[in-house]
C-alpha cells in the first residue's frame, strides 16, 4: 500500500487512497495531526508527536521541534545520547506515521508520496527522500505541498485552465502557488513564498505584546532562558488560538511560584501583527505576475495550513482578492489528502489514470559566467540562468557560451541555484571541468544543457562541438551528502532506538501533559495535579483497560478544565 504524507514543520499527517477517495489515518491518540516533535526519554527511548511536544517545556534539551527548517543542512542536535540531523528526526516521525498506518490498515506500508514546500531546493528534497528511506519507506515521489492541496480540492476533475491559487500558511512557512490543468496535465504555473513566515512568527508578536506587561520588573530573567522561551511560546500559542475564536484571550505564564498574566485583545494582536500580515501580499502578487494570471481569472483561492484559521489572515486574504477564499477541505488536512490522491494515481487507480503531473523548478538553475564590462575586460561571477524559476518540469534547456581568453585550454563550469545576479549570492551545486581546443577568445563555443526532472535531479551535459568533447554530471547537489556506508550506519542507529509500545501512547501522552502542567502550576492546583498523577499511576498499575481507559479520560478532562483544551 502506498500512503501520502504531509511532513510538516509543525505537524505531519498521513492519508491513503481507498475506495476511490482519500482518507486520513489517525495516530495512536486518535488524532489526524501528529506534531513533528521528537523527544528522548530518560531511559533512552524515543517519543514522537504530542507527548514529545508536551516535553518541550519540561525537557527542552531532550526535545526537538521545527527541525524541517534545518532539513538538508549539517546542523545536528543531541537528544539524550544520540546525535540527530533534521533528516534523522524526520525519519523518526515518518516511521511513527508508518506504524500508525500499518496498525490502521492491517497491512504493510511499502511506499509513500511525501510532500515538500515548493521552495525546497535540491538539497532539502534529497534529504527528505533519504528521511523516507531511513524510515523504511520507498519514496515513490516528492510533490510540492500546494500541488497536493489542489489535488485534494479536485482540480483534476474541473474544466481545463481553471487556475487555483493555493495560499498555505503553516507554522513556519508561507507558500503561494498557482496550479492549473492543461491538456490533462496538472501544472504549477507559479510558486512564490516566504520560508520564514508562519504561526510561530505570530506567536513572537504575541510575546512582544505580553512580555513587558506580565513582567515589568524582569523577574522572569531568573528562569533558564531555554525553558522561559518555551513557556512564553506555549502561552502565546494558547492565547493566539483563543483569539481565533474570541475577542480577547488570557496570556499566562506560571513560573517562580506565581502566575504572570495579562489579557490580549484581538485588535491589539492584529495591530501588532500588521507587519506580518503585510508580508502576505508580495508573494501573492509575485505568483500572479510570474504566471501572467489576473486575480479575477482565478477559479479558486484555497486555504491551506493551520495559520489560515486566524480571522486576521482570512480578512487580509479576502481584501487582497476581493472575494472569500475556499476552505471546503480542512486547511489542516488538504496537503496529506492530496498526497494520498497522488499515491492513488501512482497505484493506477482507474478513476484518475488520465492525470499526468508536472511540477515547477523552485529556483533558477544556471552557471557562473563572465560578461564583457564594456572596457575591454570582464566581470566575473555573474549568474547565467539556464532553467528559470517556475519552469514546469521535467525541463531541458540549453545555454550557449564561448571561451573568453585566447588559447584558453581549460573550462570550469560552476553550477548554481538561486535568484541572485552574482553567483556569490546563490547555492553552489557542483562543477564540471573539461579541456577545450586551442582557439581565439570567443571562437570556441560551449553548449551547456540542463535537464531537471520531477524527482529533483539535475543533469548537466557540457559539450564543445569543435572538438566533440562532452562531460556529464548528475546528482550535482551531493557534495556533502552522506555515502552509502554512512546511511547504513544511521539506519542502524535509528533502528536501535527504543520505542514505547504503541498501545501505551495514550497514557504516556496524558502523563507528559500532566508533568508539564505540574511544573507550570503552583499551590493548590499543583497539589491537585500531583494527586491526579498518583491516582492515574495507580490505575495503570492494575493493567486493566477497563480501569485505565476511563481514568485517563477523566484525567484528560480535568487537565482541560485546568489549562483549556490541549492543542496540537
The residue number with the shortest CB distance to Mg ion is 170
Q: Pattern 155-184, binding to Mg ion, x per CB under 5 A? A: ---------------x--------------
Active-site annotation holder among 122, 168, 300, 563: 168
Cβ–Cβ under 8 Å, residues 204 and 219: no
Neighbours of 432 (CB within 10 A): 18
Active site residue 211: no
CA distance 99 to 84: 21
Which residues are near ligand ADP by CB under 6 A?
Answer: 8-11, 170-173, 198-200, 237, 240-241, 244, 305-307, 309-310, 332
| Partner in contact with 384, chosen from Mg ion, ligand ADP, none, beta carbon below 5 to 8 Å by kind | none
Catalytic residue status for 6: yes
DSSP string of 294-336? -GGG-SEEEEESGGGGSHHHHHHHHHHHTSPPB-SS-TTTHHH
Measured CA angle at 395 (ends 390, 401), to 5 deg: 95
CB 533 within 8 A of CB 516: no
**Rounded to the nearest whole angstrom, what is the least distance from the CB of residue 549 to ligand ADP in the complex?**
28
Question: Of 145, 194, 332, 556, which one is the catalytic site residue?
Answer: 145
- Written in H, E and C, the secondary structure of 366-435 is EEEEEEECCCCCEEEEEEEEEECCCCEECEEEEEEEECCCCCCCEEEEEEEECCCCEHHHCEEEEEEEEE
Q: Does 306 bind Mg ion (CB under 5 A)?
A: no
Q: Which is nearer to ligand ADP, 234 or 345 (CB)?
A: 234
Residue nearest to ligand ADP as judged by C-beta position: 199
- Return d(Cα 149, Cα 157) in angstroms, integer: 14
| Least distance CB 313 / ligand ADP (angstroms) | 8
122 binds, among ligand ADP, Mg ion, none (CB under 5 to 8 A by kind): none
Closest to ligand ADP by CB, 43 or 245: 245
Using CB under 5 A as the binding rule, whether residue 8 contacts Mg ion is answered as yes
- β-partners of residue 194 are 174
User: Judged by CB, which is closer to ligand ADP: 306, or 344?
Assistant: 306
**Of 194 and 477, which has the nearer Cβ to ligand ADP?**
194
Alpha-carbon distance 303 to 477, whole Å? 33
In the complex with ligand ADP, the residue whose CB is nearer, 87 or 332, is 332
H helical segments located in 199-245:
199-214, 225-245
Least distance in angstroms from the C-beta of 482 to Mg ion: 26
Compute the least distance from the CB of residue 328 to ligand ADP, in Å: 17
Task: List the strands of the sheet with 427-435, edge to edge.
Answer: 378-387, 365-372, 410-417, 427-435
Nearer to ligand ADP, 34 or 414 (CB): 34
Nearest distance from C-beta of residue 245 to ligand ADP, angstroms: 7
- Exposed e or buried b for every residue in 24-57, given b needs 16+ CB within 10 A? bbbbbeebbbbbbbbbbbeeeebbbbbbbbbbbb
Query: For ligand ADP, which is the closer residue by CB, 249 or 529?
Result: 249
Residues 6+ apart with CB under 8 A from 63: 37, 38, 39, 40, 52, 53, 55, 56, 79
Q: Is residue 338 at the binding interface for Mg ion, with CB under 5 A as the rule?
A: no
Longest dimension (CA), the chain: 89
Q: Considering beta carbons, is residue 186 or 310 the nearer one to ligand ADP?
A: 310
Question: 225-245 and 266-278 helices cross at what angle (nearest 10)?
Answer: 100
- Active site annotation includes 68: yes
Q: Which residue in the list 54, 68, 180, 237 is annotated as catalytic?
A: 68
* Least distance in angstroms from the C-beta of 544 to ligand ADP: 36
Active site residue 224: no
Nearest distance in Å: CB 125, ligand ADP: 16
Long-range contacts (CB closer than 8 Å, 24 or more residues apart) made by 294-297: 295/321, 295/322, 296/322, 297/163
Rounded CA Rg of the chain: 26
Task: Name the minimum Å distance from CB 172 to Mg ion.
Answer: 9
Is the Cβ of residue 229 or residue 428 nearer to ligand ADP in the bound state?
A: 229
- Which of ligand ADP, Mg ion, none lies near 238, with the C-beta cut-off 5 to 8 A by kind? none
Q: Which does 198 bind (CB under 5 to 8 A by kind): Mg ion, ligand ADP, none?
A: ligand ADP
Site for Mg ion in 507-536 (CB under 5 A): none
Q: Residue 431 phi/psi, 5° resolution? A: -140, 140
| Whole-number Å distance between alpha carbons of 54 and 198 | 20
Q: Round to whole Å and give the CA distance between 205 and 265.
A: 13
Going by C-alpha positions, the residue among 98, 4, 2, 13 that lies closest to residue 305 is 13
CB of 163 closer than 8 Å to CB of 153: no
| 105 close to 46: Cβ distance less than 8 angstroms | no
Cα separation, 327 vs 319, whole angstroms: 16
Least spacing, CB of residue 317 vs ligand ADP, in Å: 14
Cell 480542512 maps to which residue? Answer: 330
Of 200 and 300, the one with the shorter C-beta distance to ligand ADP is 200
Q: Of 6, 54, 140, 270, which is the active-site residue?
A: 6
**CB 169 to Mg ion: min, Å:** 9
Closest CA to 66 of 230, 236, 310: 230
- At 30 the three-state DSSP class reads coil
Q: Which residues bind Mg ion (CB under 5 A)?
A: 8, 170
Q: Which residues are catalytic?
A: 6, 68, 145, 168
Amino acid at each position: 500500500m502506498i500512503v501520502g504524507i504531509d511532513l510538516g514543520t509543525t505537524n505531519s499527517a498521513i492519508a491513503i487512497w481507498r475506495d476511490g477517495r482519500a482518507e486520513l489515518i489517525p495516530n495512536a491518540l486518535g488524532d489526524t495531526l501528529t506534531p513533528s516533535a521528537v523527544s528522548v526519554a530518560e531511559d533512552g527511548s524515543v517519543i514522537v508527536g504530542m507527548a514529545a511536544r508536551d516535553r518541550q517545556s519540561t525537557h527542552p534539551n531532550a526535545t526537538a521541534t521545527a527541525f524541517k527548517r534545518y532539513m538538508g543542512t549539517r546542523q545536528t542536535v543531541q537528544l539524550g545520547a544520540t546525535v540527530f540531523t533534521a533528516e534523522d528526526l524526520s525519519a523518526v516521525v515518518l516511521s511513527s506515521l508508518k506504524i500508525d498506518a500499518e496498525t490502521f490498515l492491517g497491512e504493510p506500508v511499502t511506499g509513500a508520496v511525501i510532500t515538500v514546500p515548493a521552495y525546497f531546493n535540491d538539497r532539502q528534497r534529497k534529504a527528505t527522500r533519504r528521511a523516507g528511506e531511513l524510515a523504511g519507506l520507498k519514496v515513490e515521489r516528492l510533490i510540492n505541498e500546494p500541488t497536493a492541496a489542489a489535488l485534494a480540492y479536485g482540480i483534476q476533475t474541473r474544466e481545463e485552465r481553471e487556475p487555483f491559487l493555493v495560499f498555505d500558511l503553516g507554522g513556519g512557512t508561507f507558500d503561494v502557488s498557482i496550479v492549473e490543468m492543461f491538456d490533462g496535465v496538472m501544472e504549477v504555473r507559479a510558486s512564490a513564498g516566504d520560508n520564514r513566515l508562519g504561526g510561530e512568527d505570530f506567536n513572537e508578536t504575541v510575546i512582544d505584546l505580553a512580555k513587558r506587561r506580565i513582567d515589568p520588573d524582569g523577574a522572569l530573567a531568573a528562569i533558564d532562558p531555554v525553558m522561559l522561551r518555551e513557556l512564553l511560546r506555549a502561552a502565546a500559542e494558547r492565547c493566539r488560538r483563543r483569539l481565533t475564536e474570541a475577542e480577547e484571550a488570557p496570556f499566562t505564564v506560571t513560573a517562580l511560584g506565581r502566575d504572570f498574566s495579562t489579557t490580549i485583545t484581538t485588535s491589539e494582536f492584529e495591530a501588532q501583527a500588521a507587519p506580518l500580515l503585510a508580508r502576505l501580499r508580495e508573494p501573492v502578487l509575485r505568483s500572479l505576475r510570474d504566471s501572467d494570471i489576473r486575480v479575477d481569472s482565478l477559479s479558486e483561492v484555497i486555504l491551506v495550513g493551520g495559520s489560515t484559521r486566524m480571522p486576521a489572515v482570512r480578512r487580509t486574504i479576502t481584501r487582497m482578492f476581493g472575494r472569500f477564499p475556499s476552505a471546503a477541505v480542512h486547511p489542516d488536512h488538504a496537503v496529506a489528502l492530496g498526497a494520498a490522491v497522488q499515491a492513488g494515481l501512482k497505484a493506477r487507480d482507474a478513476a484518475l489514470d488520465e492525470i499526468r503531473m508536472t511540477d515547477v523548478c523552485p529556483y533558477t538553475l544556471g552557471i557562473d559566467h563572465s560578461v564583457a564590462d564594456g572596457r575591454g575586460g570582464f566581470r566575473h561571477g555573474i549568474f547565467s540562468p539556464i532553467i528559470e524559476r517556475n519552469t514546469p518540469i521535467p525541463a531541458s534547456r540549453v545555454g550557449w557560451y564561448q571561451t573568453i581568453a585566447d588559447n584558453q585550454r581549460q573550462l570550469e563550469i560552476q553550477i548554481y541555484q538561486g535568484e541572485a545576479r552574482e553567483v556569490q549570492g546563490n547555492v553552489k551545486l557542483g562543477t564540471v571541468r573539461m579541456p577545450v581546443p586551442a582557439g581565439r577568445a570567443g571562437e570556441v563555443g560551449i553548449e551547456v544543457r540542463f535537464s531537471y526532472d520531477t524527482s529533483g535531479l539535475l543533469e548537466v551535459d557540457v559539450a564543445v562541438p569543435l572538438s566533440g568533447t562532452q562531460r556529464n554530471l548528475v546528482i550535482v547537489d551531493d557534495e556533502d551528502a552522506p555515502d552509502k556506508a554512512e546511511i547504513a550506519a544511521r539506519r542502524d542507529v535509528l533502528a536501535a532506538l527504543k520505542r514505547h509500545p504503541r498501545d501505551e501512547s495514550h497514557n504516556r501522552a496524558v502523563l507528559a501533559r500532566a508533568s508539564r502542567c505540574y511544573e507550570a502550576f503552583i499551590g493548590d492546583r499543583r497539589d491537585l495535579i500531583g494527586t491526579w498523577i498518583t491516582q492515574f499511576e495507580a490505575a495503570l498499575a492494575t493493567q486493566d483497560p477497563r480501569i485505565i481507559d476511563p481514568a485517563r479520560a477523566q484525567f484528560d478532562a480535568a487537565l482541560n478544565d485546568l489549562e483549556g483544551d490541549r492543542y496540537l
